[in-house]
Amino acid sequence: MENEMLKSLLKEKLLEFQKLSYEELFQFMDNPKSEKYGEGDDFYQVEMESLWDDAKGETKNLRVMVAIDDGGIKAFSPLTDDFIITPDGKFI
């Protein structure tokens, strides 16, 4: 799958995950979500994971990381993006 297509899908997935609440995103802490789509040349996979934005979780801000690849060689270096959400649902 072409990089531009993967970038577009990554942006789409990131926006989709930004619609979830803090509580819903917290469920993915130490429990990544993985989805696979399509077949053949149109195959891609998305992984989303939440973790504390700071080392000890003192701020309770979540960093939500999203990775996408085509299941081939790009799986070793997937495209990634992330966002940070505060407990009150604001994005940093």
- Set out the domains of the chain in order of their start, with CATH numbers: 3-85 (3.30.1300)
Q: pTM of the predicted model, to two decimals?
A: 0.88
Q: Identify the pLDDT of residue 1.
A: 58
d(CA 92, CA 86): 7
The residue ranking higher by pLDDT, 72 or 80, is 80
Give me the residues paired with residue 18 across strands.
none
Q: Is residue 88 over pLDDT 90?
A: yes
* Sequence-separated (6 or more) residues with CB below 8 Å from residue 63: 50, 51, 52, 53, 82, 83, 84
Q: What is the pLDDT of residues 23-54, one digit of tens each?
A: 999 999 989 999 998 887 778 899 999 999 99
Which residue in the block uniquely carries the two structure tokens 């997937």? 78
- For 34, the token pair is 């993985």
5 beta partners: none
Q: Residue 68 class from Cβ within 10 Å (0-12 exposed, 13-18 middle, 19+ buried)? A: buried
> What is the per-residue pLDDT across 54-74, written as a single tens digit (0 to 9) for each?
988 889 999 999 999 988 888
